[in-house]
Amino acid sequence: MTSESYQEFLQTKKIKTISVGIQIEKSKINPILFDFQKDIVKWAVKKGRCAVFLDTGLGKTFIQLEWARFIGRKCLIIAPLSVARQTIREAKKIGIEVSYVRDHSQIKNGINITNYEMIENFSEKGIDSIVLDESSILKSLNSKTRQKLIDQFSHISYKLCCTATPAPNDFIELGNHAQFLNICTRQEMLATYFINANKEHTFIVENQIYAKKGSNKGGQEWRIKHHAEEKFFEWLSTWAIFMTKPSDLGYNDEGFILPPLNITPEFIKTDTFHSTGSLFFLGLHGISDRAAIRKDFAIYKSKYIQELISAKPDEQWIIWCGLDKEADIAKHSLNGAMREVKGSDSIEYKTQAFEDFQDGKYQILITKPKIGAFGMNFQNANNMIFFGLNDSWETYYQAIRREWRFGQKKPVNVYLVMSTMEREIYENILRKEKQAIRLRVGMINHVRDYERAEIMNQTIEKEEYFEETVEGLNWKAMMGDSCKRIKEISDELIDMSIYSPPFADLFVYSDSNRDLGNCKGWDEFFRHYEFIISEVLRITKPGRLTCVHTSDIPAMANRDGYIGLKDFPGEVIRYHQKNGWIFVGRAFIQKNPQAQAIRVKAKSLMFVQMNKDSSHSRPALIDQVLIFRKPGDNKIPITPVKNKELDNERWISWAHGIWTDINETNTLQYYIGRDKDDEKHICPLQLETIERCIKLYSNPGETVFTPFMGIGSEAFMAVNLGRKAIGIELKDSYFKVAINNLKSIQNTLFD
């Protein structure tokens, strides 16, 4: 055991993000920035690697430019097409020069900017810092661009991601950001805070947030663990700032009140069904149906669009099109100064067309959301028309926010022009919008306190810790942290101990750092476990034993990087020996492979896997009771035969070392001790296993100890077999069940 104190160790268990940046004075930040923007700049520069998720119009451009200025040396900003020139214009407002570059050879000292379309022309060599503007490009799990960004710029020291607040249920997007920023890999994030929900379709309800993992077969999805929710948002706030308005983090909203947003859906009626292939309209089925309907009715919609624009001939308009046909019809049916921006246009043309629209040089901009709906500032206009809709709420939202931004002085008018057959798309958008608003508010509420503390360089301690002691006839139950409360037990008081240590499995039963199971890996787990091993040695009488119930642990691809088994019993043996125990033997407990396959959903134990490819099959996991002795002479012999608890014939059966007659279901009831937020059922030790260990290694009247009492199985059997029991349990709900179980023995004795 090292000299590290337990309190020092608990501090190391906190999941933190290391700051790699520099400290700056707030007074050095450009005075044009608002107070909240200055605080975010100061925080981001100190972090060095972080994300700024601010809603449109809150000043992400100024923040990233100031961050790059303070970090210094060579910085590369990567931005969407046409946003680069907009950033250069914004930089001049705060006296910063930004150079537009097309390849690596053009990079200069200072701040450089390029487009995502050109990233193959760059490498990380010689670049000191990098900024991803509109970093939601990392959203797509299988995006080639996402992977290039992560791979090509993995070793850059300082990184900043800037985008509007991501979809609050899209945890994969957050995982991709964490991986790009070198905070952790996406898989590490999932393994720590999430559980495989194994659902076929994404869905979101009030207290269950699901995140889809790519397009795997069956729609593999991830749900945040119940006990991990608070810890996840606390961790998130150490590297990301979320804000929809300044008051989210306690600042004044003056100057950041959005104007009215007027959304008008207009459904064009028609009785023709050219492309559906049916006499009657039977609903939309897939993307092809949606595209066909939009093509069929584009000409009908254009007439209504003409009327809208004719009513306001002196105002600017954006027409968002989803199809080339829609853009063509709009261009040929409208009067007035207009410009169309297509995907095939050159970068120079797109940039100039957008800038000319911003400068009011023409009235109507026709383009697709995927070209102009991300990153651009079009608050020079306050009217827009959607020439039909698709099912992407994010695209819809981003397109609206090009005009409806903080700083917009006029009400924004949005017209949704659809055929009656597109109503289900509109209703789908409304449903997604309600979900997003509710969940975004929930996310902001979760992270608000932590983010405010981060910005102000403060700490928040929310963990509640309670202790309680309850005593009964021949038993004593102690609620609290075993590593702490075990110190209340006198030296060499215990005659034997028996328990199952929790496995390293984060946030399954609690969110407490005191929970031995809440460990990031085996190294941390066994550092924590050593405090128990050494203390149990101290309180055990010389020559007496401890029995530790273990088994091998499945290795999982998301957590461990491979599928197989980990030798947990072997590590338990090594750490007991390291801390002074003598390993004297073990007993194997046979398990039913079919029951285990059903209980833990192990594919490797199922008939279907055996029939498909038996190379991925394995035997059932066998429980092992590891037996250790404390050095020294046992002063009071243990005599199970004399105690009439064992005879020679039974001894032969038990000493065989392979216990095939243990009833797996003979346990204290566990489901009444399970919290609604627990991710797994607790696994109480079989009563017959406990009975054998107690009869073999203690005498009646002696004291049996368990540092992980759970619902009280070991203490229950000890008292039931005429011993005394001392148990410690951290979790309140389990402790209460254990007390009831122990009192049930006492009531029986009195009866």
Q: Parallel, antiparallel, or unpaired for β 129-133 and 194-196?
A: unpaired
Please give the structure tokens belonging to residue 568. Answer: 């947990």
Give how far the C-alpha of residue 262 lies from the chain's centroid of Cα atoms, to the nearest Å: 35
Using the predicted structure, report yes or no on whether residue 330 has a pLDDT greater than 70: yes
The pLDDT assigned to 203 comes to 35
Task: Give the chain's radius of gyration (CA, Å).
Answer: 33
Q: Which of 35-49, 57-71, 211-225, 558-572 has the lowest mean pLDDT?
A: 211-225
Using the predicted structure, report yes or no on whether residue 491 has a pLDDT greater than 70: yes
Quick check: 91 and 111 in contact, CB under 8 A?
yes
- Percent of the chain scored above 90 by pLDDT? 52
Using the predicted structure, report yes or no on whether residue 48 has a pLDDT greater than 70: yes
CA-based angle 458:462:468, to the nearest 5?
140
Predicted confidence (pLDDT) per residue in 18-36, tens digit: 889 999 999 999 999 999 9
Dihedral pair phi/psi, residue 545, rounded to 5° = -120, 160
Using the predicted structure, report yes or no on whether residue 439 has a pLDDT greater than 80: no
Quick check: 518 and 744 in contact, CB under 8 A?
no
Q: Which of 120-129, 309-318, 659-668 has the lowest mean pLDDT?
A: 659-668
Nearest alpha-carbon partner for 71 in 24, 25, 124, 119: 24
Mean pLDDT, the chain, integer: 86
Using the predicted structure, report yes or no on whether residue 498 has a pLDDT greater than 90: yes
Question: Residues with Cβ < 8 Å from 348, sequence gap 6 or more?
Answer: none
Quick check: 17 and 44 in contact, CB under 8 A?
no
Quick check: 719 and 704 in contact, CB under 8 A?
no
CA distance to 542, 691, 702, per residue, from 697 (Å): 13, 10, 10
Distance, in Å, from the CA atom of 157 to the CA atom of 592, rounded to the nearest integer, reads 52
Distance, in Å, from the CA atom of 332 to the CA atom of 338, rounded to the nearest integer, reads 10
CA distance to 235, 341, 647, per residue, from 81 (Å): 33, 12, 84
Distance, in Å, from the CA atom of 414 to the CA atom of 416, rounded to the nearest integer, reads 7
Domain ranges in the chain are: 6-15+37-243, 261-435, 468-750
Using the predicted structure, report yes or no on whether residue 215 has a pLDDT greater than 90: no
The pLDDT assigned to 213 comes to 42
Distance, in Å, from the CA atom of 112 to the CA atom of 321, rounded to the nearest integer, reads 32
Using the predicted structure, report yes or no on whether residue 233 has a pLDDT greater than 80: yes
Grade residue 656 by pLDDT with cuts at 50, 70 and 90.
Answer: confident
Count of Cβ atoms closer than 10 Å to residue 615 Cβ: 7
Quick check: 171 and 243 in contact, CB under 8 A?
no
Predicted confidence (pLDDT) per residue in 517-555, tens digit: 888 888 999 999 999 999 999 999 999 999 999 999 888
The pLDDT assigned to 1 comes to 57
Q: How far apart are the first and last CA of the chain?
A: 47
The pLDDT assigned to 212 comes to 43
The pLDDT assigned to 216 comes to 38
Which alpha helices (H) appear in 48-184, and where do they start and end?
Answer: 60-71, 83-93, 144-152, 171-180
Residue whose structure tokens are 């020079």: 380
The pLDDT assigned to 218 comes to 40
Nearest alpha-carbon partner for 717 in 740, 742, 697: 742
Concatenate the DSSP letters of all residues of 511-537 into one string: --TT-TT--SSHHHHHHHHHHHHHHHH
The pLDDT assigned to 284 comes to 63
Write b or e for each residue in 692-724: b if 16 or more Cβ atoms lie within 10 A of its Cβ, otherwise e.
bbbbbbbbeebbbbbbbbbbbbbbbbbbbbebb
Q: Which helix (H) or strand (E) holds 404?
A: none
CA torsion angle 532 534 535 538 (round to 10): 160
Please give the structure tokens belonging to residue 563. Answer: 């599928």
Question: Residues with Cβ < 8 Å from 47, sequence gap 6 or more?
Answer: 17, 19, 20, 21, 239
The pLDDT assigned to 219 comes to 45
Using the predicted structure, report yes or no on whether residue 211 has a pLDDT greater than 50: no
Distance, in Å, from the CA atom of 707 to the CA atom of 730, rounded to the nearest integer, reads 9
Please give the structure tokens belonging to residue 16. Answer: 């933190």
Q: What is the mean pLDDT of residues 351-359?
A: 92
Q: What is the 3-state secondary structure (H, E, C) of 589-640?
A: ECCCHHHHHHHHCCHHHCHHHHHHHHHHCCCCCCEEEEEEECCCCCCCCCCC
Q: What is the mean pLDDT of residues 65-69?
A: 97
Residue whose structure tokens are 């020559």: 543
The pLDDT assigned to 199 comes to 40
Grade residue 597 by pLDDT with cuts at 50, 70 and 90.
Answer: low
The pLDDT assigned to 711 comes to 92
Grade residue 103 by pLDDT with cuts at 50, 70 and 90.
Answer: very high
Q: Which of 56-60, 287-291, 568-572 has the lowest mean pLDDT?
A: 287-291
Quick check: 122 and 110 in contact, CB under 8 A?
no
Quick check: 507 and 516 in contact, CB under 8 A?
no
Q: What is the mean pLDDT of residues 2-10?
A: 83
Dihedral pair phi/psi, residue 482, rounded to 5° = -60, -40
Distance, in Å, from the CA atom of 285 to the CA atom of 424, rounded to the nearest integer, reads 11
Nearest alpha-carbon partner for 710 in 679, 669, 665, 664: 669
CATH topology of domain 261-435: Rossmann fold (3.40.50)
CA distance to 718, 722, 725, 742, per residue, from 474 (Å): 9, 9, 6, 10
Grade residue 200 by pLDDT with cuts at 50, 70 and 90.
Answer: very low
Q: Which of 150-154, 286-290, 466-470 has the lowest mean pLDDT?
A: 286-290
Distance, in Å, from the CA atom of 474 to the CA atom of 715, rounded to the nearest integer, reads 10
Better-predicted residue by pLDDT, 322 or 681: 322
Q: What is the mean pLDDT of residues 362-372?
A: 93
Better-predicted residue by pLDDT, 427 or 285: 427
Fold match between 6-15+37-243 and 261-435?
yes
Please give the structure tokens belonging to residue 723. Answer: 């011993």
Distance, in Å, from the CA atom of 95 to the CA atom of 4, rounded to the nearest integer, reads 51
Quick check: 243 and 53 in contact, CB under 8 A?
yes
Query: Which CATH architecture is the domain 468-750 placed in?
Result: 3-Layer(aba) Sandwich (3.40)
Secondary-structure class of domain 6-15+37-243 per CATH:
alpha beta
CA distance to 13, 37, 450, per residue, from 458 (Å): 18, 18, 9
Please give the structure tokens belonging to residue 571. Answer: 């590590």
Give the torsion sign (CA, 639, 645, 648, 654).
Answer: negative
Distance, in Å, from the CA atom of 713 to the CA atom of 690, rounded to the nearest integer, reads 8
The pLDDT assigned to 599 comes to 61
Distance, in Å, from the CA atom of 298 to the CA atom of 635, rounded to the nearest integer, reads 95
Using the predicted structure, report yes or no on whether residue 68 has a pLDDT greater than 90: yes
Concatenate the DSSP letters of all residues of 708-732 into one string: --TTTHHHHHHHHTT-EEEEEE--H
Count of Cβ atoms closer than 10 Å to residue 334 Cβ: 18
Using the predicted structure, report yes or no on whether residue 675 has a pLDDT greater than 70: no
Using the predicted structure, report yes or no on whether residue 282 has a pLDDT greater than 70: no
Q: Parallel, antiparallel, or unpaired for β 468-472 and 724-729?
A: unpaired
Q: Say how many CA atoms lie within 13 Å of 531 toward its Cβ.
A: 23
Grade residue 283 by pLDDT with cuts at 50, 70 and 90.
Answer: low
Predicted confidence (pLDDT) per residue in 389-407, tens digit: 888 888 898 899 999 988 8
